Structure 1
Amino acid sequence: MLMMIIPLLTMPLLSNAWFISSSFIFILFPIAFISLTNPYPWTLTLSSLCSMDLMSSSLIMLTLWISSLMILASYKIKHSNKLPQNFISMCMLLSIFLILTFSSSNLILFYIFFESSLIPILILILTWGYQPERLQASMYLMMYTLTASLPMLVMIFLIYSKNNHLSFLLQSWSAPLPNLINSWWLILILAFLVKMPMFSLHLWLPKAHVEAPVAGSMILAGVLLKLGTYGLMRMSLIFTQMNKQFSSFITPLALWGAVITSLVCMRQTDLKSLIAYSSIGHMGILLAGILSSTQWGWQGAMSMMIAHGLSSSALFLLANSTYELTHTRSIFLTKGIIILFPTLTLWWFIATAANMAAPPSINLLSEILLITATLSQTSILAIFLTILSFLTAAYSLFLFAATQHGATAPSSIYLPPLNSSFFLNSSLHLIPIFLLIMKPEIICNWL
């Protein structure tokens, strides 16, 4: 694995690194695809510390896909000559950390790469961010993540002292500190709940998204949020009974938070902030599906990770393209795009339809699986799920109608044409969402 990652490190040294890196990032696709199409778990064991199963290989492919597209979307950094080589280096470093995190078969190694991914995204926000508040956003991101991850590190040491190993390949795990009435599990998964993020632990996400460049927003929503769900699912496979201890109060909190953030979306005026809050709502129903500890819940969670990664990244790409054309992210100042750029409106329609789980997208399958698994716990949760489904459609339609329709400003006639790379980028984001529904078992049947 390391020998195959070395070419990624040398990409910034090449004269044409911008285009070569976005092409050669696919060199790990054959390895991930072999593991993805193999029906047996942990068949691709590269070493005692590095292995891939069907779940990790799906997320590695998503990482490679989003990484190449975020470089393609950041062509303005190259044209403005704002440290393009350093930008490529940070993107490659972040991709490598994410790939190593998803392919780690040792818990302490997983933790190291899990936390290492924080460094490149911080540098991306601080160096290429848009607003003066990017320092505050970076501080929020760092403090929330580190505050929750340090107790997790202590718990990992206690797990090692109890089991004498930290390998995911071995199934014999004993719970540490049985006298703490299972509160050790909450300490262990707290870092994952912050990374998702769960409602009440989410304040860092809208700030990070608003201040980050388009590449940072795409990789943050597309892959980095999936680190929390991946870690929670990986630990839930080891300690299969622990989620039932806390699902009775975490699941209602997550679904209630999804409803609240959906209401917040209805009152947002900033495009990127609205998309960021919608991600929190999607992560709420995903967390409820994982805590159900059912096969449908975990399959739906895996499907939602892929679907949300592609659709939310596409929405941030469209928001950035709209910002580059109109020089504003305000929903109330961005009007009448359907008159000026009907092709851009088409991509907005497809992306918002996927975001609200319209058929035939993979988002619809994932929500059906997650809603069914959540209702298997108690039918009272149907109240939250009904309101959440309605509000998701409401703010998605509000986002589309408020930006695409209405009277255009007089200055809009001087807007530049769309860049040709935008159409390629949008196609590579949204076409897989509707192709995966033809063979969903590729990403669903990972158990």
Structure 2
Amino acid sequence: MTKLIFFLFLLFSKDKMLMVYLIILYEMSFLLWDFFDSISYLLYMLTLLFFIFMLIILKSFEEFYMNNKLNLYLMMILLMILSFSFWVENFFYFYLMFELSVVPIFLYMMFLGVSKEKISASLYLFFYTFSFSLMFLISLMKYYSVNFSFNYILLKFLNLEMSLIYMILMILIFLVKLPMFFFHVWLPRAHVESPMGGSMVLAGLMLKLGGFGLLKLMENFYWGNFKMGNIIFSIGMWSGILMGLVCLFQIDLKRMVAYSSVSHMSLILMGIFSYSEMGKLGSLMMMLAHGISSTMMFFMLGMIYYRSHSRNILNLSKYAKYIYLFNMWWMIYSIVNLGFPMTLNFFSEILIFSSILNKSMLNLLMMFFIIMVSSIYSIFLMTSLSISLEKSNLITMNMKISESIVLLMNFLLTILMNFLMWLY
């Protein structure tokens, strides 16, 4: 599937420099195979495919992007940074890439943002990210002074046990990027003030760095005595309920999808801190599934925003009703995002919920509330654009071929991933 998408894009691309750039990155995935583990390779390929879809989108919306070249260059820089994040086998280099990844997003929001609030949203992103990065660096230097190495494999071999204070300092930076409840304030602001491409990058890739970092820490350090894990697990559980309730009171559709992302990230957090292989696998699967479904939902919101210049549910419904193909795709990706049976989202939730119940059967009631609330807001999200609340000033709009191609390719990728999971 990956080779097919690459072939189709390179066949119709007119930018030779871009073609060479993508071919080099794709071939490096084979040359550096020995440096990848399964988690790194899956997220790297997701990053590469995501970038191709973004290029198609930029071409489709070229008339709306006044700084289309800037958009492209920022995407290329971000792709390279994220690629190195998954390639490196060294915690210090990973830390550098982790922090550098914020810079293109910051510039993206500052120069391509859609309102005056973009400055405050950019500052929120900058403050939350870099205020906790120093804590991680201090902890990293502490362990370097003990074993004189940042290498993943060596740290895993040494099976180092961290003191409680350094454990907390190391995970805070990833809890902010994930983000965990209490550290999530920057995310809805960033989504709302970012253009369509920025929201897609945040939902599809940037949030996954937080989960990837936590998984790496869990693999390479001894966490047996980390009692704070139960507190983080509990916060994640309450976050799933509270963020679902917040979604029900949103009239800004983009903000609603942003809060639903926080709710999904809380499930990933619970899976990781269930301290079970089943929970970790479920968290990885949800990162991949969420990276596809939520990205496409932000893409479709961008499609209709550039036509209607509104994110209000009451206004958008009257436009979306007359884009029949759009309605079909919106329903499909909403169902996938809901965790419909036999989808990757469904399998990931089953694994995470199983790991949570294995931890304690007392979590059953909380799981019931999480499922109930998430189902309600997902159905509301699914029907919000299909049911027209106003019948005046209706207009007819058609989807572009490039928009349909992106949605179809992602749908085929979703089916392929579901099929592979079913075989697994």
* TM-score for the superposition, normalised by structure 2: 0.91
Equivalent residue of 2:310, what SS?
coil
Name the counterpart of 1:87: 71
- Maintained 8 Å contact 2:327/2:385: no
Determine which of 185, 192, 199 is the counterpart of 1:210: 192
- 3-state SS, counterpart of residue 203 of structure 2: helix
1:102 corresponds to: 86
Q: 2:141 corresponds to which letter in structure 1?
A: F
The answer to whether the 8 A contact 1:335-1:402 is kept is yes
What residue ranges of structure 2 are gaps of 5+ in the alignment? 1-9
SS state at 1:123 partner: helix
Q: Does 1:115 align with 2:99?
A: yes
Q: Deviations over 1:176-206 (max 9, x none)?
A: 774xxx2210110100000000001000000
Which position in structure 1 is the counterpart of 2:347?
A: 365
TM superposition shift of 1:412: 2.2
Does 2:209 correspond to 1:220? no
- 375-384 vs 263-272, which deviates more? 375-384
Which SS does the other structure have where 2:264 is aligned? helix
The answer to whether the aligner puts 1:173 opposite 2:158 as a matched pair is yes
- Whether contact under 8 Å (1:59, 1:102) holds in the other structure is yes
Match of 1:428 in 2: 409
- Counterpart selection for 1:385 from 367, 371, 384: 367
CA contact (8 A) 1:290 1:301 kept: yes
Task: Measure the CA separation in 1 of the matches of 2:55 and 2:377.
Answer: 29
Q: Is the 8 A contact 2:308 2:319 kept in 1?
A: no
Aligned-residue identity in percent: 29
Report how many residues are paired.
Answer: 412
RMSD, matched Cα = 2.3
The verdict on how the C-alpha distance between 1:78 and 1:326 changes in structure 2, with shifts beyond 3 A counting, is closer
Structure 1 Cα separation of the partners of residues 40 and 280 of structure 2: 14
Alignment of 1:305-344 (within 5 A): 305-336=287-318, 339-344=321-326
CA distance in 1, matches of 2:338, 2:325: 20
Which whole-Å deviations, capped at 9, do the CAs of 1:189-225 have from their partners, x for residues lacking one?
Answer: 1000000000010000000000111111111100100
Q: 2:258 corresponds to which residue?
A: 276
Residue pair 1:124, 1:212 contacting (<8 A) in 2 also: yes
Deviation at 1:265, TM superposition (A): 0.3
Aligned equivalents of 2:123, 2:65: Cα separation in 1: 27
* Correspondent of 1:44 among 30, 33, 41: 33
Q: Does 1:199 align with 2:181?
A: yes
Match of 1:78 among 46, 62, 71: 62
Offset of residue 398 of structure 1: 0.5
Which of 405, 418, 421 aligns to 1:437? It is 418
For residues 103 and 54 of structure 2, the distance between their equivalents in structure 1, rounded to whole angstroms, comes to: 18
Q: Distance in 1 between matches of 2:302 and 2:327?
A: 14
Deviation at 1:282, TM superposition (A): 0.5
Deviations 1:74-116 (Å, cap 9, x if unpaired)? 3366325622222211000001000000111011000000100
Pick which of 224-233 and 429-438 moved more.
Answer: 429-438
Please give the alpha-carbon distance, in whole angstroms, between the structure 1 residues aligned to 2:310 and 2:82. 32
TM-score calculated relative to the size of structure 1: 0.87
1:124 matched to 2:113? The reply is no
In 2, the alpha carbon distance for the partners of 1:292 and 1:300 equals 11
* Unaligned residue ranges in structure 1 (runs of 5+): 1-10, 36-42, 46-50
